[in-house]
Structure 1
């Protein structure tokens, strides 16, 4: 089974290319965007519209209510279920949340979820005593973790008590839950042009009803909505609470979106498996053709 990852910073142009590729390959698209899993957050997350989908099946949109916790582990499990159901089809994994993409392409570490009973016992122990236990059961972790980082020490000891295996070993052992092999592609543009696109996109979001969308969600969910801390929503909530002006909120959305794009660049550039395409130097048609050729030989 084969798939393509289309990654890159916010506003770079992933959606249009992914639809075109999906149509050519008769593929489903799986969103890899940590904000688009939330119901009702459409305008502010630039969620693909029914019209833009152009008949292509999309997964992992509108999965949970905005006040529900949704972890990368939740994402991985759901996507792996989807992949194992549609093994006969090609798949495109599209988005800018690197951790979500990695959880599917590489898997997540084999660390167990926290055990509250064990953790409560460990929390009552003296920090020095705990660190001595860690040195005994997992000297590699004791070398890597500062003795004053009690929470991290607790977690390492907890994992050993749960599994009988070292935290230093399990934390590096990834479990992948699907049989897909992925061609990893990332898109980029000149930074100045990308930031101009981001600024313009925020203006279009405001024209398309971002303020009204946030008002509706804030009235529905109240202060709990702030906890998920998504760009575009947090700033408008500050405006609704009379903490800043609307103009200040809009400028903050633009600034925070640009900063987010920088962090996304850093994440994806650190992964040398990606093939990068510069939309300033190649046309979308050229990129489309090159990806299809590479996919044939995957």
Structure 2
């Protein structure tokens, strides 16, 4: 990467795209070129023992490239977006301080936004007593009554929350009762904090037909590689199917098979369908971010050429509002 003036922020490439778009292999090519290490932005690859269904790269596939924030949380352990942001920033600092390039890679849009945009999560601890009272009120009164209270206290936050989303309604009220300040106020304070790195967002795209074919092929490979046995092992070790981790694509579809409630053939069909829907939602999310520069898989003859285009783009990056644009 080009040398930057002393005092400027380190450039951190961020590679995003839908599931099965080839982010993993491309990011490894790019990391090898820049002497980099990868920081995962995948909300399911954080979990230990969940390898096949999350498409976690094997040690062979990593090709010696160090990966951070992958395979470090137990399947029944809570891990929030705020936890991710703190962990990712710490990992990037560690990588940069050792003279290497940190490269963010993943398809979890909320993780990407939390890390690269000037918004975040106020560090306000949960008050169990206040939470209990608010929950009791929500459960004994019409949801509209509690929501109306939020509209009066914090209309901007209320406008972004559905009246029946009890967790978010209660949390917004809890923040106010705990601090005397609204959720909107605290989010505004967070936005005043400058980003520690110069994030450069690169997106991977392709036609829907090509993407859907890749998804179908990936699901077939997961089944061949032992996804059913992976899910069986988690259930046998007592992990509840209702856990957030076990509700991930590739796991919730297999549980009914193991319980004798559905055939593998039918659940594989559902898994492919739902993964295609998920990929579409990912693209919709990322398309809203105008900072992403998109690279088309089909306009390059192979992965190596695409990686070279992305590397060239990163190398020519000269800072905000001063990028040499290319048509790829």
TM-score (ref. length: structure 2): 0.81
Q: Name 2:238's counterpart in structure 1.
A: 221
SS for the counterpart of 2:238 is helix
User: Residue 293 of structure 1 is aligned with which of 312, 315, 318?
Assistant: 312
The whole-number CA distance in structure 2 between the counterparts of 1:158 and 1:220 is: 36
SS for the counterpart of 1:223 is coil
SS for the counterpart of 1:200 is helix
User: Residue 283 of structure 2 is aligned with which of 260, 265, 286?
Assistant: 265
Is 1:44 aligned to residue 53 of structure 2? yes
The number of equivalent residue pairs is: 298
Kept after mapping to 1: 8 A contact 2:241/2:252:
no
Query: Cα distance, 1:140 vs. partner?
Result: 4.8
Q: Name 1:119's counterpart in structure 2.
A: 131
Query: Cα distance, 1:292 vs. partner?
Result: 2.5
Moved more, 46-55 or 153-162: 153-162
User: Residue 158 of structure 1 is aligned with which of 174, 185, 193?
Assistant: 174
SS for the counterpart of 1:93 is strand
Is 1:14 aligned to residue 14 of structure 2? no
Query: Cα distance, 1:213 vs. partner?
Result: 1.3
> 1:72–1:6: structure 2 CA closer, same or farther, 3 Å change rule?
same
Kept after mapping to 1: 8 A contact 2:39/2:102:
yes
Runs of 4+ in 1 over 6 A off after TM superposition: 126-133, 142-151
> 1:194–1:224: structure 2 CA closer, same or farther, 3 Å change rule?
closer
The whole-number CA distance in structure 1 between the counterparts of 2:240 and 2:296 is: 41
Unaligned runs of 5+ in 2: 1-9, 320-328
Is 1:72 aligned to residue 90 of structure 2? no
> 1:6–1:129: structure 2 CA closer, same or farther, 3 Å change rule?
closer
Kept after mapping to 2: 8 A contact 1:28/1:89:
yes
TM-score (ref. length: structure 1): 0.88
The whole-number CA distance in structure 2 between the counterparts of 1:147 and 1:96 is: 28
The whole-number CA distance in structure 2 between the counterparts of 1:135 and 1:187 is: 40
User: Residue 182 of structure 1 is aligned with which of 194, 199, 205?
Assistant: 199
> 1:69–1:257: structure 2 CA closer, same or farther, 3 Å change rule?
same
The whole-number CA distance in structure 2 between the counterparts of 1:260 and 1:49 is: 23
Query: Cα distance, 1:206 vs. partner?
Result: 1.2
> 1:181–1:145: structure 2 CA closer, same or farther, 3 Å change rule?
closer
**What's the RMSD between the two structures over aligned residues?**
2.8
Deviations along 1:80-110, one digit per CA (max 9) or x if unpaired, are 2212222232111111111111222125232
The whole-number CA distance in structure 1 between the counterparts of 2:55 and 2:164 is: 42
The whole-number CA distance in structure 2 between the counterparts of 1:252 and 1:131 is: 36
> 1:287–1:122: structure 2 CA closer, same or farther, 3 Å change rule?
same
Query: Cα distance, 1:34 vs. partner?
Result: 0.9
Query: Cα distance, 1:55 vs. partner?
Result: 1.2
The whole-number CA distance in structure 1 between the counterparts of 2:224 and 2:159 is: 54
